[in-house]
């Protein structure tokens, strides 16, 4: 398998914001999308067979309107080549990673007056030695630079600043969404103050204002990434994960976020329009059958029977002409239908494509977590 060669990577000097770069909104046009084929046995049950079927449905749904770049490791190569043998708009490339969370380990992209650039953050498995989810993450930490080199994108290197793509949302007009629970966690940048972290976000992502939501989704093992609780639909307008059940632990978390958003404005001075997107009515938990399917490595966070998973419909992906929306089935069929209907109402120019995603959720995240958009624009070819 291929490995990273730093001497082939064009590192851009300077500060993206000063150089005229910014992070577009996900709802803006894409050149493509990056995913990583699942194989880690501590994340994906029963040799990732069910997860791969779910990934395939996500990939083919995205490929209807934009190119998919699918990273495949040695263990998953045979299955990927078989499942995408005749697939259009899907390009496989081969490199080993530690896991399959492209949102967090692939580059975050920024656009400038003339080209698109990659951003490489330091990745430490969502908390490093403090509360990271696995013991070794070197391959994942190298992936963003590898992708930028392979596909000819110049790259700003933000390391050693620790950040994951799922911990930030952009409206494309100068406003970022993050959560305090995640970005101020002790396992990421403990030597930086909130103000210093905010300045780095502004400089690297070309932003003018950062909205610090207090909390994310209950029991989200990423320290509550924003992409699971709140997302921009367009500038000035967001969906917020919600529940009316005051006995649900999510109620207090979502209420904190709502109260915060109601008193804030974005970088353009607009009051935020907040649409409540209910979470599944029935909690989705790890079963005995799920636990039997994992094979955990030493030092890896392990699942337990009855563990509540961080299920949320906010963890969707905007492709160029669709909303790829997770659904969970079973006793949550009614919740699924309501989420599909609401998202279709809020996104009349896109088709909502529901994908059964419990088999992704058992890995710890969902559709937004396994995808990373590449914005449309020019790039420097090899």
Active site residues: 369
Task: Give the separation between CA 103 and CA 370, rounded to whole angstroms.
Answer: 6
Among 86, 117, 109, which Cα is nearest to 34's? 109
Q: What is the DSSP string of 36-101?
A: E----TTTSSGGGHHHHHHHHHHHHHHTTTSEEEEEE-TTTHHHHHHHTTT-TTEEEEEB--S---
DSSP secondary structure letter of residue 354: E
Q: Which residues are within 8 A (CB) of 54 and not within 5 positions of it... i.e. 6 or more apart?
A: 355, 356, 357, 359, 360
Distance of CA 64 to the CA centre of its chain: 20
Give the pairing type, strands 169-170 and 175-179.
antiparallel
> Which residues have C-beta within 8 Å of that of residue 139, sequence separation ≥ 6?
96, 97, 98
Which single residue is written with the structure tokens 């969707």?
A: 316
Asked if 239 and 230 count as a contact pair (C-beta separation under 8 A), the reply is: yes
Instruction: At 312, list the tokens.
Output: 């949320």
Assess contact for 270 and 235: CB atoms under 8 A.
yes
3-state class (DSSP) for residue 320: coil
**Dihedral sign, Cα of residue 182, residue 184, residue 185, residue 190:** positive
* End-to-end Cα distance, the chain: 20
Rg for the chain, CA atoms, rounded = 19
Helix (H) / strand (E) containing 52: helix 49-62
Q: Six-digit token pair at 200?
A: 């780095």
Structure tokens at 234: 């367009």
Give the CB-side neighbour count of residue 126, counting CA atoms within 13 A: 22
| Contact predicate 30/375, CB 8 Å | yes
The CA-atom distances, in angstroms, between 168 and each of 9, 204, 268, 309 are 25, 12, 18, 21
């Amino acid at each position: 398998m291929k490995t990273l060669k730093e001497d082939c990577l064009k590192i851009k000097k300077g500060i993206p914001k000063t150089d005229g770069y910014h992070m577009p909104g996900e709802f803006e046009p894409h050149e493509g999308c990056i995913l990583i084929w699942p194989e880690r046995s501590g994340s994906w049950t029963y040799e990732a067979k069910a997860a791969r079927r779910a990934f395939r449905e996500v990939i083919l749904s995205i490929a209807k309107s934009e190119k998919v770049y699918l990273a495949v490791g040695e263990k998953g190569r045979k299955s990927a080549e078989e499942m995408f043998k005749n697939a259009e708009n899907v390009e496989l490339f081969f490199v080993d990673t530690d896991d399959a969370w492209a949102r967090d380990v692939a580059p975050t992209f920024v656009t400038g007056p003339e080209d698109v650039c990659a951003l490489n953050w330091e990745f430490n498995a969502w908390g490093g030695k403090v509360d990271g989810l696995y013991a070794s993450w070197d391959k994942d930490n190298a992936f963003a630079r590898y992708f930028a080199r392979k596909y000819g994108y110049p790259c700003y290197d933000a390391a050693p600043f620790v950040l994951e793509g799922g911990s930030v949302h952009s409206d494309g007009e100068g406003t970022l969404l993050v959560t305090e629970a995640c970005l101020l966690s002790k396992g990421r940048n403990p030597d930086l103050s909130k103000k210093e972290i905010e300045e780095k976000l502004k400089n690297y992502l070309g932003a003018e204002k950062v909205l610090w939501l207090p909390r994310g989704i209950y029991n989200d093992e990423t320290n509550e990434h924003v992409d699971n609780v709140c997302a921009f639909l367009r500038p000035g307008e967001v969906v917020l994960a919600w529940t009316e059940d005051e006995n649900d632990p999510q109620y207090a978390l979502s209420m904190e976020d709502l109260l915060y958003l109601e008193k804030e404005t974005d970088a353009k001075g607009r009051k935020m329009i907040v649409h409540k997107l209910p979470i599944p009515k029935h909690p989705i938990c790890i079963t005995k059958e799920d636990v039997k399917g994992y094979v955990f490595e030493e030092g890896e966070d392990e699942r337990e029977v009855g563990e509540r998973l961080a299920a949320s419909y906010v963890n969707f992906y905007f492709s160029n002409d669709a909303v790829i929306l997770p659904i969970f089935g079973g006793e949550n069929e009614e919740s699924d239908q309501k989420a599909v209907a609401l998202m279709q109402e809020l996104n009349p120019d896109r088709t909502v494509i529901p994908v059964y995603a419990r088999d992704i959720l058992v890995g710890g995240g969902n559709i937004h977590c396994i995808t990373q958009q590449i914005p449309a624009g020019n790039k420097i070819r090899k």
